[in-house]
Structures are given as structure tokens and as C-alpha cells.
Structure 1
Amino acid sequence: MKKYIYSLAIAMSALTLNSCIGDLDTMPLNETDKTAEQVYVTLGDFEKGLAYIYGSFSLVSQSDPGSADINVGDAGASELVRQYMVLNEMSVGSLKCVWGDAYVADLQNNSWTTAPNDALIAVYTRCMMIVTRANEFLLQSDKKIDMEGIKELRAEARFLRSLGYYILLDLFGNPPFALPENIGGVLPTQIGREGLFNWIESELKAIISGEGGEALPNKGSVAYPRADKGAAQAVLARMYLNAEVYTGTARWADAKAAAEAVIAMGYKLCPNYEELFMQDNTENLNARNEFIFAIAYDRDKTQSYGGTTALINASLGEDANNGIAAALGYPAGTKISRDQWNGYHVPNEYVANFDLVGVDWEAKSGFGYNREKSDRRAFFYNIGGVEAYDKANVNSGWRCWKFNSRASDGTLYSTDNYTIFSSADFPMFRLAEMYLIYAEAQARLDGGTTTDSKAMGYIKELRDRAGVTTPSSINLDFILKERACELMWEGHRRTDLIRYGYFTAMSYPWPYKGGIPDGKVALPSYRTVYPLLQSDLSENPNLVQNTGYQSNN
């Protein structure tokens, strides 16, 4: 089904949405291109248009994976999920990189400015593309409001627009706020971070309840990977968990209630954590039962050098690629990942969150620790490496193979005659996160430590799956550590450290924080949000730059 959904996105190439930020007019530049009014006629056309919006999360163009449709030098670096993960993980201690790209240096040194940065351009621009495409969809579908099935499609478009706005809210604070009336009309203004939070909340609640007749479907009533009420409720849970950061007012009880509402819908933990990130993670029902909303990839239909393709291939060099496969019992010369870009590393300080047994930096084979006796969520390798991460040393820190090129039956899609691209879907929201949100919200309501039976039960389920013991009570720092292990490289760490007050604190170092090798430095508070694109401000006089960046260049 995901192949079908995303092949429809390509079919929308007749609809040209040329500019999505400074100019929200969707009329085509070329006379031979069709207008939205010409494209959106039948219900099938609207289904294709909806797929086009879904595709904005994973596709880099309508031609090939090596050609970007936005102004970023490398097509792979222009993909939304790849750079969403990078902005949330490379800016803290969970992901570091030895590549010489300017955006890499900016992020891992926390030194970004308003100067062009590929990661910021990609996420900001693509989220605004999602907003613009959804607005165009809603504008055109409003003209066909009596068409059977159109209101259900409108609810999905509203969800995707809300998710795009949520990402902008979290990363950029106060982005431009555009609605369908801005298409070809007045340039958007800003409504403030709290105002945007309130708008997203009201939108999600409306499409969950069906206000106005536009309701998301119930869980399981539409084909994967389409969004349902569980997805909208999950966005609310995450928003409420971070509400104090976004609005100044804590919403712990609402976070707990929203997480519980998702849990009650019947999602199930995958018995084997590793299967959540394998090539067949959504053909495998055990894994898919845990997914609430995921971004779909297919090696044949949705190719890009971003997404899980990047997570798999960027993490290993040749020695690690061969060594991990050998340690897993595959024949000599086999690789665990199809390609080896040899860039992403994990500092030892972050790996210390995991319960690893028998760590040995002098080991000549294996993984560099006793994997059988360690936390089952640990997918690390240190053979041939040095303990201290050094951004100039390609063999420093740990390698991570959480995302890799094998399937749940052991098949390896990494032979020379097979495609480089990944079919593993990226989980934007899954049940484990809802367990952790519930537990943290309860702990905060209880003053920082909880023995609440339901919260403890959720944590125990996660710890049992990981093969590690559960304490008799849990506090906030324990939960932060648990989130580090359970949600590694899924785009959470920066947001977590900001919520805990650790992102800017000198007392919470990580390698190269603020450009300092040992990271023992405080960051200015304005770095808890990224700057709006300077090009967007130049095109739209209604916009004001985020505090702290006005004089940056």
C-alpha cells in the first residue's frame, strides 16, 4: 500500500507549486503546466493531491533522488526527515559527524547563524511546502465540499499541515503563519509561538472530534501509512509534554491524558526492538503494530539519499560494515549496510546512557562489548576506534547500526547487485514514546519521582523488552536516560534537553557543545530555537527574526 500511496505523489507532477515561503502563489510559471483548478477535479485527483502532501516528508523532487527541488547543494541533504533528525540530534550529544560540510560544523558546534545552512533550509522550506500544499488542497477541496469522501481527505490534509507547523513550532518558534487565503494573496504574518501552539491544538482536536464533519479515521480503518486519530492524538501528547517551553505554561496532566488516549487505541509494543528499524519494518506486523505514524520509504518507489537511507549508510565505514556483519554470523565479506559513507558517530558520553556489559576499547573482534548481556536497544560498534570523540578523527567514538540493511528473517539487502536505497520506514510516533510521555508527566505531577503503578508498568514493559531491570521508583533523570536509550536517533534529544533545562546549562556538557571539545560551556538561551531563513525575511516584510539572531550574519 505504501508503494501505491507514494506513486500517486509522483502523479501530481502536473501541479506546479513553485514557491512556498515568500510567495504563496501556486500558479505555474510555464503556460504548459496545469493550474490547481485544472488538476483538482475528481475525488481521485484529490487523493493524488493528498499523496503529494505526504510525499513532501520523504521526496526531494519529482524527477530523481539526485536532483533537489529546493536550493540546497546536495539533494540528499535537502530531504526533510534526514535533516529533521540531524537538527534534533547533531546539535546535542547523540550524533556527531566527521564530514566537512558547513552545516555539520554549524550544528555540532552550536555555532549556526542566519547564514545559509543546508539543514535549516531543508527543514524550514519543506515544512512550509507541506503547509502550502495543504492550503492549496484545502482551498480547492472547499469548492467540492459536497463531493462524497472529500471531508475525510480534508481532515488528513489538515493533520499533515498541523504536523508541518508542529515541526516549525518546535525548531523555529515563530514561523510565518499561512492559511488558504494566503494562496496568491496577502503575505503571511506571525502569530507568536503560543498562538501557533493554540492553533495547532485546536486543529488537532477538531479533526479528532469531527467538528464540522471533517474527522480523521479511527485507528486501523485506513491503509498504512495514512494518518488516523492516533497520529493526531500523539502530536497533542508530544506538544503538551513540551507546552511549558512553547507557551510558558506546563500541561503535564494534558500530556498524560493525551498519551493515555493513544495507548487505549490498541497499539502494541513490538516484541523485538530491533525489528522496528529493519528493512521490512512495516511489512512485519509485529513492528507496525507499534507505529502510530511513520514516514514511508520504498527502495523502488520513494528513493532518496535522505531518510533511513542516510541513517543506514552514513553511520559506517568499510571495516565497521564488515565487522558488524561478521559479529552477527554472516559470511566473510558480507556488509550490514549497503553503502558506507563513514560520517556519523556517537560520543562515548551518550553511549553511557545504555547498560553495556564488558566494554573493551582494545577488542579486536565482536562489537566492543558483550552484546548478549547488554541493553538490547544498544546497536554499537567500537572495534578499531578510540574512546574520545574527535571531529577530526574518522575512527573516534562509537558507530551505530540501529538502522541497517537487513530484514527480520535475516536477509541482508546489501549485496553489490542490489539497490543502495532503504525500504525501512521512519517512525515519527510510536507507542513506546507514549509510554514515556505518560511516565514523565506522572513523575512531574508527583514532584519529580513516581511509583505510580501504571507509569511503572509502562516503563517495565520497555525495560523488559530491552532485557534490563526496572527500579522500584522512577525520577525525571531516569526517564531522560530511558528516552535516550529507547528513542535514539528518532529526532527527540534536542527537544528533551531543552524541556529539562539542560540544553543551555554548563552543568550538562557533551562533546563540542558550543565548539568546546569537552563541552563545558553554557549556551545562550536564544539557541533553543533556530533562526528563520534570512531569505524568507527579505522576501516578506511582515516577518521578524527570532530574538538573538537579528544581528547575526
Structure 2
Amino acid sequence: MNNILQRLLIVIAAGLIMSSCHKIEVTPNSLYTEDVFPKTDAEFQSVLGTIYTSLRGHYSLAYWFAQELSSDEAILPVYGGNWFDGQGYIQLHRHDWNKDHGWITTVWNDANSIAGLCNQTMYIFKNAPEGESKNTAIAELKTLRAYAYWELLDMFGNVPLDTIYPSPGVQAKATRAEVYNFVVSELQTALPFLKTTTGSTTYGKVTAWMANALLAKIYLNAEVYAGTAKYNECIAACDAIISSGNFAVEPRVSYLSQFYPTNGPAFKEFIFAIPYDPSTDNGYLYHARYDLNRNLGIKYRYSGSTPGSYSFSQIILNQTTGNGLINARPSGPRATLSSFYNSYFRNDAGDIRKDQWLVGNQFWSDGSPMMVRTTKKGYDQFYTGADGGDAYTYQLYIDSVIRARQTLVSIDLGNDEIAWNMGIRNIKFLPDVNSSSRNQSNDAPIFRYSDILLMKAEAILRGGAATSGHTPLSLVNMVRSNRTTSTPWTSVTLDDLYAERAREFTWECWRRNDMIRFGKYENAYGFKSNADTYRRIFPIPTQAMNTNPKLVQNPGY
């Protein structure tokens, strides 16, 4: 990095420190001189990298837990006290979280920090030389800030709009409709200046297509956010992307590949994705750590696991040494509910999306059964026979049904082989065989072209005007024809579309958003029976309330 950028990043860091301490009386103008400002596109982009890095660290952890574990799509139980973590994961599943919930607090802090960093960077850029590079950089910043505020309005409803740097002080909450209008306005203002090129040069960066995708998502949810339907506006934003010709639905043969560690700009379906790299020190994709059954490390080469020179038929799992065997075990606490899997995946053998799930007897790649060695007591902690310490070998079986065998309140399954083998596992984001750590290089898509087609179909079904000869049925079949060998649908309802979105976007952080829009969020599922409607938005964290006395807690909390 050249000296100009080094000094500029030091200035940004200084601004972050001052902002976090609320020393609003400090005026940072004297820190800046003309030789600090970026001038070229590359220099602007280098500075913006700090914000993209913040988004990467946020998306795959706190944001994922808040969006997915509060839905019917994912659950993270307790295993003999392991992963209890103050009931944080279980509270999300049961819908009984409170204002001190750790992950909810982290999501709030993350999104506000991204917005704040955008404010500070725009302040620094204001005196940079005028030109296309500056206009594009500021448009990117406005879009990234709009994205952060979209997360906040989606998850927390009424939130403070803090868009000035240096900050004039803590702000009162704006209404959800006001935040919605701000986000829409920011995106519309930014769009003319955003890049329209696709491919490796803009991969993982804000473009006009990303801004239109975010607009489409916001318009589709406008009735939830602001009380007024905006389905025609959603369709127009979708059409801007469709008519560009820059994107396509991945064919059936490469649907799963687009989520693998080798994914990237070559896949035509990605509109905006977060790139991950296991060699970086900030922001990891940990899916294999959470999703793989603990006995599957060797098969999927988790964290450098290897069967050594064994043939698969000779491997007995739970051994950690011998003939080059390395058995790194993932944590494996995360699963899906059998009701979710059975509702959306069980009955269509020709749907490639079914292959993202692991359930039932497990086999090596050559068809040999995966055998696990333990003791009778190790297999079943409640075994009472005198021979509990005797060796016991069984074929690995992933049970679709999750049962609380210790305490129902904490959904504690126990701490034995039976417990750890409960719950269907997801390998959509396939483990990275080239990573020697738990970090993966799978890029995570936020917006995909299939979502654009399904959003347009939904908007028409909900009353929007059809365009370009598209119908909800034709749009849905554009996606399904690339996913399943089953015959095309001949009709489609909103419930059909809801189910199709479940199949298409599993593990991609859209389920909570979909459940609320379709009126399903209060349904009973798994161990959850709470039907409180106020939980469609999360509470303002206690930490934020203590910092900002102008905040008012969301209803119900």
C-alpha cells in the first residue's frame, strides 16, 4: 500500500476511536491534508476495502445466527452442556430472546459500525479531487450504508438514523417508515454512479446490479416495513437486472458448485457475494465447523483431516492415529429440523438441492460404510449394563429426528454418539479441503439471479403488473428447470413459491425474512411454540439503550 493510503487509513482509524468514545467536540479537519486524499480508482477502492472486510466478519456469524436460528430452517441444540452458551442459540429457536441476547447485540453493533465507518469515510472523501472515481466511491459508500440500515430496519424496526460525521451526538429513533424511505432514497441517488460491469473486476463489490437487487428486496417487503405495497417498484428493479443480460440461472449440474470453495466470479448467478479467504485474519466462513457431524471430518477433509494410506473399508472413525490417519473433528452442533426437510426436500429425488443434506446411513466415496468405534456407554450415556466400557462399533447414522434426552428447557440432547448424530446436516457450503484451519474459502452470495426471478414472480402474484411476457409460473419454472428433473409446474400459488424459496435459499440468510412476509413466523415448529407477533423485530440491546438515552425500547421487550 502506498504512503497516501497508509496515512488515510490511520486517519480513519483515528476517527473510529474518537467516534467510539463520543468525543464529538473533537474536530478532525486538521488531520487532513491534500496529499492524503485518494485520487485514482484503485486508491479509493483500497480504502473501501476496510468496510467490505467488516461486512465479511459480520455476515457469516452473528447475522447468520440471528436470521437462520430464529427460523424453522436451522437449530443449534445443546449437547450435555456443550453449546449452551447462556441459551443464546436456543432462545433464538424458541423465540424467547431478550434485550441482553449476545448475538442480537452483536448484529446491532456490527450494522451500526458499518454505517458509521461509511459516514467517516465519506467525510474524508469530501475534499478529494472531483471525478468519476470519487463519484463511484461515494455511491458505493451510500449503498453500503443503505445495506447496513436495511439490516437494521429489517431486524430492529425503528432505529436512529445517524448519517453525519463528525456526529452531532446521539440520535433518537426514526420510525421504520422513515428508515425505509432513507434507504430507498440513498440507493436511488447512488445508482447512476455505480459501475455496471460484471466479472472479476467488480466481484464482491457494490455495483448497480447489487443496488437494484437490494431495492427489489426492500420493495418486496415494503408492506412489512412501511405499510404500503410496492410490488410494481419491485418488478421494475428486477427487470433492470433481468434485461441487462449479465446474469443467468446456474444449470442443475453446477447449482451446488456455486457454493463450493472454488466458487467465484465465473458463476453467472452471483449478483453480490462476500469473498472469503482462509488465509485472512478477519472474517471467516465457518460453516463446516458448525454443520459437519463430528465423525465426518475425515471424509470431508475438515481442517486437514486425512485417511492417510488406509483404504476406506479399513478406516474406523474415532481413531486419531495410525498409518497417517488424521481425524480433526468439527464441532458439529448445527442441524435442520426434520419437519423442514420433510416439507421441502423429501419427495423430489430429482431435485439437485436435496444433495446438500446429509441424513441416514453414511458411506465413504467408494460405497464402504462409515464405521465408528466407541464404547457402549460412549454410544449411549444412559446405558446401564455392566459392560458399558466394552468396545462398540456402529455404522454412522444421521438421525433426522432431534430429541431432548436430558433437559427439554435447554434442548439438551446429551453428550454421546446418539446425541451428536441427531439432526440432518447441511453441506451446501462444502468444506474446504485445501484449508488447514476451520476457515473456508467459499464465497457467500447475498443476492443471486434466481432470487430476482422468484421475487418478480412473487410481486406479480401479490398484485404487481406482469412485464416482458413473464408470468409467475414462467419465472418459477426458469429456476426449477435448472434444479430438478421433475416435470415443470402447471400452476403456482404463494404457498408454492414460499416452499420453492425454502428449497432454493437454504442456509443463505433469507428464511426469517420470508417467514415474516408470508405470515409464517409465529407458526409452531421444533421446540418452538411462542407466537408473540412483536418478535418479528428484535429488541434494542441493553448496551445500546445505556449508551443512547434517547432510545425507546421496541414494544414487548
Same fold (TM over 0.5): yes
Deviation at 1:471, TM superposition (A): 1.6
Are 2:95 and 1:95 aligned?
A: no
Per the alignment, residue 417 of structure 2 pairs with none
> In the aligned structure 2, how far is the partner of 1:347 from the partner of 1:142?
50
* Residue 457 (structure 1) aligned to one of 436, 450, 474: 474
> In the aligned structure 2, how far is the partner of 1:177 from the partner of 1:24?
19
Name the Cα RMSD after superposition. 3.4
Are 2:146 and 1:169 aligned?
A: no
Whether contact under 8 Å (1:25, 1:184) holds in the other structure is: yes
Deviation at 1:325, TM superposition (A): 8.0
Whether contact under 8 Å (1:252, 1:445) holds in the other structure is: yes
* Residue 189 (structure 1) aligned to one of 165, 169, 172: 172
| Cα distance change of structure 1 residues 82 and 10 upon mapping to structure 2, 3 Å threshold | farther
Q: How does 1:536-551 map to 2 (within 5 A)?
A: 536-549=544-557
Deviation string 1:342-394 (CA, Å, 9 cap, x unpaired) is 11011111112334359xxxxxxxxxxxx6x4443541112323332234223
> In the aligned structure 2, how far is the partner of 1:152 from the partner of 1:135?
15
* Residue 352 (structure 1) aligned to one of 342, 357, 370: 342
Deviation at 1:226, TM superposition (A): 1.4
Deviates more, 1:9-18 or 1:82-91: 9-18
> In the aligned structure 1, how far is the partner of 2:26 from the partner of 2:38?
20
> In the aligned structure 1, how far is the partner of 2:145 from the partner of 2:235?
24
| Cα distance change of structure 1 residues 19 and 382 upon mapping to structure 2, 3 Å threshold | farther
> In the aligned structure 1, how far is the partner of 2:355 from the partner of 2:249?
18
> In the aligned structure 2, how far is the partner of 1:293 from the partner of 1:27?
37
Partner amino acid, structure 1, of 2:480: R
> In the aligned structure 2, how far is the partner of 1:39 from the partner of 1:97?
51
Whether contact under 8 Å (2:37, 2:125) holds in the other structure is: no
Deviates more, 1:172-181 or 1:379-388: 379-388
In the alignment of these two chains, the number of paired residues is 472
* Residue 534 (structure 1) aligned to one of 533, 539, 542: 542
Deviation at 1:26, TM superposition (A): 11
Deviation at 1:466, TM superposition (A): 1.5
**Any unmatched runs of 5+ in structure 1?**
60-78, 359-370, 407-411, 514-520
Per the alignment, residue 386 of structure 1 pairs with 399
Deviation string 1:143-197 (CA, Å, 9 cap, x unpaired) is 225266212111111111000111111011112210124x242222222100010
Q: Which has the larger radius of gyration?
A: 2
> In the aligned structure 1, how far is the partner of 2:114 from the partner of 2:136?
18
| Cα distance change of structure 1 residues 28 and 350 upon mapping to structure 2, 3 Å threshold | farther
Matched residue of 1:489: which SS?
A: coil
Deviation at 1:109, TM superposition (A): 1.5
Whether contact under 8 Å (1:353, 1:484) holds in the other structure is: no
Whether contact under 8 Å (2:457, 2:475) holds in the other structure is: yes
| Cα distance change of structure 1 residues 223 and 374 upon mapping to structure 2, 3 Å threshold | closer
Are 2:98 and 1:105 aligned?
A: no
* Residue 262 (structure 2) aligned to one of 256, 280, 305: 280
Are 2:429 and 1:397 aligned?
A: no
* Residue 41 (structure 1) aligned to one of 23, 37, 50: 37
Deviates more, 1:185-194 or 1:38-47: 38-47
* Residue 483 (structure 1) aligned to one of 497, 501, 511: 501
Whether contact under 8 Å (1:20, 1:125) holds in the other structure is: no
Are 2:138 and 1:154 aligned?
A: yes
Deviates more, 1:100-109 or 1:13-22: 13-22
Deviation at 1:421, TM superposition (A): 1.6
> In the aligned structure 2, how far is the partner of 1:268 from the partner of 1:122?
35
Q: How does 1:11-90 map to 2 (within 5 A)?
A: 12=9, 15-16=13-14, 17-18=16-17, 23=22, 25=24, 40-43=36-39, 46-59=44-57, 79-90=58-69
| Cα distance change of structure 1 residues 145 and 461 upon mapping to structure 2, 3 Å threshold | same
> In the aligned structure 2, how far is the partner of 1:43 from the partner of 1:446?
44
* Residue 218 (structure 1) aligned to one of 196, 200, 212: 196
> In the aligned structure 2, how far is the partner of 1:162 from the partner of 1:331?
53
Deviation at 1:25, TM superposition (A): 4.9
Per the alignment, residue 364 of structure 2 pairs with none
Are 2:208 and 1:232 aligned?
A: no
| Cα distance change of structure 1 residues 230 and 26 upon mapping to structure 2, 3 Å threshold | farther
Per the alignment, residue 438 of structure 1 pairs with 456
> In the aligned structure 2, how far is the partner of 1:109 from the partner of 1:9?
47
Are 2:513 and 1:495 aligned?
A: yes
* Residue 270 (structure 1) aligned to one of 231, 247, 250: 250
* TM score, norm. by length of structure 2: 0.77
* TM score, norm. by length of structure 1: 0.78
Deviation at 1:40, TM superposition (A): 4.6
**Any unmatched runs of 5+ in structure 2?**
78-82, 318-324, 361-396, 404-410, 414-419
Per the alignment, residue 367 of structure 2 pairs with none
Deviation at 1:199, TM superposition (A): 0.7
Percentage of matched positions with identical amino acids: 25
| Cα distance change of structure 1 residues 133 and 347 upon mapping to structure 2, 3 Å threshold | same
| Cα distance change of structure 1 residues 38 and 173 upon mapping to structure 2, 3 Å threshold | farther
Whether contact under 8 Å (1:324, 1:381) holds in the other structure is: no
| Cα distance change of structure 1 residues 24 and 490 upon mapping to structure 2, 3 Å threshold | farther
* Residue 144 (structure 1) aligned to one of 103, 125, 128: 128
Deviation string 1:508-527 (CA, Å, 9 cap, x unpaired) is 321122xxxxxxx3521210
